[in-house]
Chain A
Amino acid sequence: QVQLVQSGAEVKKPGSSVKVSCKASEGGFTTQAITWVRQAPGQGLEWMGGIIPIFGTANYAQKFQGRVTITADTSTTTAFMELSSLRADDTAIYYCARERQAGFAILSSWGHGTLVTVSS
């Protein structure tokens, strides 16, 4: 099973941006999408968007359109999620996860999560 290793915790000011990385182990970039899911304190899981790394095509949840950019670097098998115009309610744990089967968001491999704290 692919291993996903995420970057470390971040503390950001309101209005700034954060970029979280997710490195996949050898062979981790295929036609299976890498997706980003977040969990705010006391809240449930929320899908933000995803990318098929070898094609570079991303799609996003309507809620985050215009604020989130998901990219992938196939040379380093690393996916990125950048969230801009940060607000206090963006404080959350951000997870990357990979589809078990291309085209179906069955999330079988997960990163350990990256805590992003937005505070002035």
Chain B
Amino acid sequence: DIVMTQSPDSLAVSLGERATIKCKSSQSLLYASNNRNNLAWYQHKPGQPPKLLIYWASTRESGVPARFAGSGSGTEFTLTINSLQAEDVALYYCQQYFNTPPTFGGGTKVEI
């Protein structure tokens, strides 16, 4: 199975500042047939299901605010939340869908 490692485990960011979350995979997630990285990011708030934010490493899901940005390629990826808002307090997970089983990172807790 592909191992996904996120860092940090948690971070505290002031309102309006930037939050940066890293994700490393144990093997490349670059899908040769379309030259895209099979990496997604989810936001998970207590009492709610996870919400898809980003897929193909950098494509924002419909309705996701532009302050959420995904980048990276191969084995190293980043989720950046620009100008953090109060409603962004949540757990964030990366997930690879290059191989079955899909695997998630351990999560990063973002606090104000």
Contact residues of A with B, CB < 8 Å? 35, 37, 44-47, 59, 61-62, 95, 97, 100, 104-108, 110-113
- Asked whether, in the complex, the Cβ of A44 is within 8 Å of the Cβ of B49, the reply is no
- Alpha-carbon gap, A106 to B102, bound state (A): 9
Give the number of residues in B that approach A within 8 Å (Cβ atoms). Answer: 23
Contact residues of B with A, CB < 8 Å? 38, 40, 42, 44, 48-52, 55-56, 61, 93, 95, 97, 100-107
Given known A106-B55, A107-B40, A108-B61, contact A47–B101 (CB-CB < 8 A): yes
B97's partner among A37, A62, A105 (CB-CB below 8 A) is: A105
- Asked whether, in the complex, the Cβ of B50 is within 8 Å of the Cβ of A107, the reply is yes
Identify which of B44, B61, B97, B107 gathers the most chain A CB atoms within 10 Å of its CB.
B97
- Alpha-carbon gap, A97 to B55, bound state (A): 15
Which residues of A are found within 8 Å of B42, using beta-carbon distances? 45, 107
- Asked whether, in the complex, the Cβ of A100 is within 8 Å of the Cβ of B55, the reply is yes
- Asked whether, in the complex, the Cβ of A110 is within 8 Å of the Cβ of B50, the reply is yes
Name the distance in Å between B37's Cβ and chain A's nearest Cβ: 12
Main SS class of interface, A? strand
Task: Look across to chain A and name the residue whose beta carbon is closest to the beta carbon of B105.
Answer: A44
Which residues of A are found within 8 Å of B49, using beta-carbon distances? 95, 97, 110-113
- Alpha-carbon gap, A108 to B50, bound state (A): 9
Task: Look across to chain B and name the residue whose beta carbon is closest to the beta carbon of A35.
Answer: B102
- Asked whether, in the complex, the Cβ of A106 is within 8 Å of the Cβ of B40, the reply is yes
Name the distance in Å between A51's Cβ and chain B's nearest Cβ: 13
Which residues of B are found within 8 Å of A111, using beta-carbon distances? 49
Given known A106-B97, A107-B40, contact A95–B50 (CB-CB < 8 A): yes
- Alpha-carbon gap, A110 to B44, bound state (A): 11
